[in-house]
Structure 1
Amino acid sequence: MSFIVYNPTNSPSIKTKNMAPRNKSLNGSVIGLIDNGKKNSDIVVQGVAEGLKKKHQIKEVIIYKKHSFSHGLSKDDAKMLADKCDFIISGVGD
């Protein structure tokens, strides 16, 4: 008895991604903070916002709360944040 074994994998595709250009300072920036909805994430995100405001001359902090930590941002929400914010921090991890 013989078996035919098929390999369903493909060779890896290599894609080059470049990092976004970095600003030298947070001063005068609009910062977006994404609250992913995990337990106490609202407290952590608020603490990050307060810390950034104390250390830098932040123009505005936009806190966006996701509907569920198990889902990503919708394309519309991601575009809205990208259009309004100079920097975006997504948190909170386990």
Structure 2
Amino acid sequence: MSITTIIPVPSDKVAASKGATRLPSVKGSTVGIMFNIKQNGSELLSAIGDLLREQHDAKAVLPPVKTAGIYLPTEEQLKDVADKADMVLVGLGDCGSCSACSVQVAAEFERAGVPAVAICTTPFLKSGQAMAARQGLPNLRFVTIEHPLSSLTIDELRERAKEAVSQVVSIVCADDELNKSEAAALADSWAA
């Protein structure tokens, strides 16, 4: 008797992709938000957006857009948000599949030329890293914050947003050379 394993991803190696050019600053930027069905996703991403506006002078935070699918947006949603935003917050990743999908959506924005940051919780770091590699962006950085998120109150979510905002700024606004060296170091640490 033999067992056939079906893997729901292409069998050929994914070509390396190029991420978006980093922003010189959050100041004056428009922040987009793309969230999935996860409880507290919109609230956490909106709280991070508010902090980017208050602390880093973002010009505007667009209303959150819920993915049309359970975890993934339509091409029209991606294009609409990419056309309006200078940077995008994506999530919420607090389990295996939603973490991988959040990173996939961030990779799609990156390939469209818009810096994007997926938000995942620490237990699902490996899931996010695997998806980044699968998307051809093995050095794609994303925010990791403590788990859980779905059971938190609004005040607790705001505290997590405070933990995340400096990571968001570092990922989106890093100088290109600094970003490349940080990404290479991060990739090395993931491989260890």
TM-score (norm: length of structure 2): 0.40
After superposition, residues 18-57 of structure 1 pair within 5 angstroms as 18-57=18-57
Alpha-carbon deviation of 1:13?
A: 2.8
After superposition, residues 1-94 of structure 1 pair within 5 angstroms as 12-13=12-13, 15-62=15-62, 63-68=64-69, 70-94=70-94
Greater Rg by CA: 1
- Alignment length (residue pairs): 84
Change (3 A) 1:14 1:32: closer
| Runs of at least 5 residues in structure 2 that lack an aligned partner in the other structure | 1-10, 95-192
Change (3 A) 1:35 1:13: closer
Distance of 1:82 and 1:13 partners within structure 2: 27
Alpha-carbon deviation of 1:29?
A: 0.5
Distance of 1:67 and 1:82 partners within structure 2: 16
More contact order relative to length (CA 8 Å, sep ≥ 6): 1
| Runs of at least 5 residues in structure 1 that lack an aligned partner in the other structure | 1-10
Write the deviation string for residues 51-81 of structure 1: whole angstroms up to 9, x where unpaired. Answer: 111111111111212245x241111111011
Alpha-carbon deviation of 1:16?
A: 2.0
Q: CA RMSD in A?
A: 2.0
Write the deviation string for residues 12-68 of structure 1: whole angstroms up to 9, x where unpaired. Answer: 435121121111101111110112121122221221122111111111111212245
Identity %: 28
Distance of 2:75 and 2:14 partners within structure 1: 25
User: Which one is further off, 16-25 or 77-86?
Assistant: 16-25
What stretches of structure 1 move > 3 A for 4+ residues in a row? Answer: none
